Chains A and B, each alone.
Chain A
Amino acid sequence: MAQTAYQLVSGQGEVRDYFALLKPRVMSLVVFTGFAGLAVAPGDLHPVLAAVAVLCIAVASGAAGAINMWYDRDIDAVMERTRHRPIPTGKVEPSEALAFGVILASGAIMLMFLATNAVAAGLLAAAVLFYVFVYTIWLKRRTTQNIVIGGAAGAFPPAIGWAAVTGDVGIEAAILFLLIFFWTPPHFWALALYRKGDYAAAGVPMLPVVHGARETKRQMLLYTVFLVPLSLAPCFFGFAGWPIYGAAAAALSLIFLALAIAVWRDESDRSAKRMFGYSIFYLFGLFAILIADNALMTTV
């Protein structure tokens, strides 16, 4: 009977279900930061090849998301936020999702190599492998530092974009990497603070579940304090100007810091929700201003 019911619901995926496997919302942030790395890097890359490089970053990111959904299908079915994903709802078979992810990732890495260079393709492969093996399979269910170390996977895209143009990874690419790396813990823990029941039910040892809200808020504040001077590093290293990027980054970062302080003081979840929403805007804003500043510096 169970077998019949499963057969009735499985394999009925629409095209949009396969698209949902790619985690399009996460992908948008990855694509944008990857594009920023490409846009601010010194040197020339044909616009078509640049577009292909961005496409490769997008597809590889989506593919990593699909493999993550394949591996996490058991906990996704338990958590309220993820229970409507295509695998827990039976719209896509787990094996289909895995094959979909592996094929897309392989194709994206190969195309990146053909369109740009081995460094960019190698970094793209490293990002996918890190996300799947280090974050998803190794760290996520084992340590409270899962999203701190695993967050490195999401920090790769600007370095990949930079490498696509220059064929190298310089200090500038490392700064863009560090920006996302230090942004990730306050971003994810803000979400984990008001979704900790979900994570606890699934047995994922997120920091608020294991060490409580107070310790999480303290660590969020520490990372945010460190992020403020780091956001100004592009000015110190000369690949962004003070009047536009410097001023805007300072303002955006101080608001982020104010929100982290509000979360630290607030006993309810309201500030954490606000901080999570703002953290997405913050990263988009920071990289958008970096691109605009660089475009203005180039034209002047």
Chain B
Amino acid sequence: MTTTTMTDSNEKHDQSNDMKRRQRRKNLALMAVLVGWVVVLYLVAILRMSGEG
């Protein structure tokens, strides 16, 4: 295996790890938004049903 092919392989590995990290952050952000959405809907429903609105 030559030095060039080893460097290419390392770069690809780094890129793949970077993409995974980025995707993980996006998944977490999406999860936070969805949980937030559910909490807000729950609060709004409770307040509206209790005649607070």
Binding site for B on A (CB under 8 A): 12-15, 18, 45-46, 48-49, 52, 55, 107, 111, 114-116
Contacts of B43 in A (CB 8 A): 48, 52
Contacts of B37 in A (CB 8 A): 107
The contact sample of 24 A-B pairs, CB cut-off 8 A, is A12-B19, A13-B22, A14-B25, A15-B26, A18-B26, A18-B29, A45-B53, A46-B47, A46-B52, A46-B53, A48-B44, A48-B47, A49-B52, A49-B53, A52-B40, A52-B43, A52-B44, A111-B40, A114-B44, A114-B45, A114-B48, A115-B44, A115-B48, A116-B53
Question: For residue A104, which residue of chain B has the nearest CB?
Answer: B33
Contacts of B35 in A (CB 8 A): none
The digit string for B1-39, where 1 denotes a CB below 8 A from any CB of A, is: 000000000000000000100100110010000000100
B41 smallest CB distance to A (angstroms):
7
Contact A111:B53 (CB < 8 A) given known A12-B19, A14-B22, A14-B25: no
Can you name 13 extra interface pairs (CB under 8 A) apart from A15-B29, A49-B52?
Answer: A12-B22, A15-B25, A18-B26, A18-B29, A45-B53, A49-B44, A49-B47, A52-B43, A55-B40, A107-B37, A111-B41, A114-B44, A116-B53
Contacts of B29 in A (CB 8 A): 15, 18
Query: Number of B interface residues, CB 8 Å?
Result: 15
B17 smallest CB distance to A (angstroms):
13
Question: For residue A164, which residue of chain B has the nearest CB?
Answer: B53
The winner among B26, B37, B45 for most chain A CB atoms within 10 A is: B26
A156 to B45, CA, bound (A): 26
Contacts of A114 in B (CB 8 A): 41, 44-45, 48
A51 smallest CB distance to B (angstroms):
9
Contacts of B22 in A (CB 8 A): 12-14
B13 smallest CB distance to A (angstroms):
16
B51 smallest CB distance to A (angstroms):
10
Question: For residue A110, which residue of chain B has the nearest CB?
Answer: B41
Contacts of A115 in B (CB 8 A): 44, 48, 53
Contacts of B40 in A (CB 8 A): 52, 55, 111
Contacts of A111 in B (CB 8 A): 40-41, 44
A174 smallest CB distance to B (angstroms):
24
A202 to B38, CA, bound (A): 42
A33 to B29, CA, bound (A): 28
A23 to B35, CA, bound (A): 23
A84 to B43, CA, bound (A): 38
Contacts of B47 in A (CB 8 A): 46, 48-49
A55 to B43, CA, bound (A): 14
A252 to B47, CA, bound (A): 40
A123 to B31, CA, bound (A): 29
